[in-house]
């Protein structure tokens, strides 16, 4: 089905901010500067942001600013605040807003910031919270797919609830996220087609771990303004080469500069061997580093120069000595990758 052209509507400002990663006046693929003649990709690393805490488990907003700066320095071209990695279900409504606002202010319009808005016991409450996110300056409000239907409910029920949400938010730019909590509801092609025809969908965080289904989504969304951001590190490069807009994996909370590099060079024929080599490295690394994710990611980031407390509202156990040792070894290995690739 042909979808409406929304270039003058939903995604114009969203994509304009992504384009700010390029040198002034240069389009994707043009020379960035005379020093390195690097080609700028139109693929974007959009981190799924952690929420730093103080020792008493209150939100560390200063730490969040430092973390945002770290992502920026690593090459992020967008930000997903108030997501599952942010422990959104463990934040109060006020904290969700303040966390998002902190990121919006720190990024200061340079790149798009998106955040989850579909909180509430009914569509009206979801609309009200989503509007608060718009008021603080997010570029798109993210809808959790499983917030719009129970696990045993059919797609037509989900579409009906989404339609109600859309009717009450006529000017709101939107995204979707196949969040595994409360349960993972993969966006079917029928539901995706409905959303695409609203002309308002700009971001989709895909967690299917199924490159075949990803390719179907990409084919369906051709000609629309939707950008698909793959969360699955094992199919990262394949999704980028198939037309995905970027990556939003949890690996970006360990080595964001590596994920940004993959986005930069996935389509570069001159870098194909290095990209394929790195894809296999990050695939194999994933299971080693993501045990006790909320704490191990903080520990890894601290080795990169941050000063985050090893505190999480979601983690039930502290890092063990063995987990720390695994991260130490992984960190050293990643430094070797960076040396080999000139990162």
- Which residues are part of the catalytic machinery? 177, 205
What is residue 271's DSSP assignment? Answer: G
Q: Judge whether 246 and 229 are in contact, CB under 8 Å.
A: yes
8 Å CB contact between 179 and 82:
no
Instruction: Indicate the helix (H) or strand (E) that contains 293.
Output: helix 293-303
Sign of CA dihedral 176, 178, 181, 184: positive
| Dihedral angle computed from the Cα positions of residues 281, 44, 87 and 135, in that order, rounded to the nearest 10 degrees | 180
Which token pair is 26? 């240069």
Residue pointed to by tokens 């990611």:
297
- Helices 61-74 and 256-265, packing angle to 10 deg: 30
Sorted by sequence, the CB contacts under 8 Å of residue 95 that are 6+ apart come out as 59
Q: State how far the Cα of 158 lies from the Cα of 163, in Å rounded to an integer.
A: 9
Residue 185: asked if its preceding bond is cis (omega within 30°), the reply is no
């Amino acid at each position: 089905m042909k979808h409406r052209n929304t270039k003058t509507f939903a995604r114009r400002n969203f994509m304009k901010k992504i384009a700010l990663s390029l040198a002034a006046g240069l389009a994707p693929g043009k020379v960035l500067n005379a020093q390195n003649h690097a080609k700028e990709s139109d693929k974007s690393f959009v981190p799924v942001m952690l929420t730093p805490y103080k020792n008493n488990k209150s939100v560390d907003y200063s730490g969040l600013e430092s973390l945002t700066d770290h992502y920026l320095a690593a090459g992020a071209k967008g930000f997903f605040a108030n997501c599952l990695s942010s422990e959104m279900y463990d934040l109060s409504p006020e904290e969700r807003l303040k966390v998002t606002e902190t990121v919006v202010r720190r990024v200061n319009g340079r790149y798009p910031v998106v955040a989850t808005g579909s909180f509430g016991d009914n569509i009206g409450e979801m609309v009200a919270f989503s509007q608060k996110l718009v008021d603080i300056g997010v570029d798109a409000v993210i809808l959790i797919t499983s917030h719009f239907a129970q696990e045993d409910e059919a797609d037509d029920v989900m579409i009906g609830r989404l339609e109600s949400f859309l009717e009450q938010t006529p000017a709101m730019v939107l995204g979707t996220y196949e969040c595994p909590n409360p349960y993972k509801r993969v966006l079917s092609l029928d539901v995706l087609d409905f959303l695409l025809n609203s002309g308002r969908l700009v971001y989709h965080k895909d967690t299917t771990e199924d490159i075949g289904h990803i390719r179907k989504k990409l084919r369906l969304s051709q000609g629309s303004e939707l950008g698909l951001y793959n969360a699955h590190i094992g199919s990262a490069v394949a999704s980028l080469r198939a037309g995905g807009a970027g990556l939003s994996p949890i690996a970006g909370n360990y080595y964001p500069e590596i994920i940004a590099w993959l986005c930069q060079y996935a389509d570069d024929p001159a870098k194909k061997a290095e990209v394929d080599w790195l894809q296999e490295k990050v695939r194999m690394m994933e299971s080693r580093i993501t045990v006790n994710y909320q704490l191990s990611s903080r520990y890894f980031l601290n080795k990169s120069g941050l000063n985050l407390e090893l505190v999480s509202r979601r983690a039930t156990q502290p890092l063990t000595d063995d987990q720390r040792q695994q991260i130490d070894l992984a960190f050293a290995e990643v430094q070797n990758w960076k040396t080999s690739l000139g990162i």
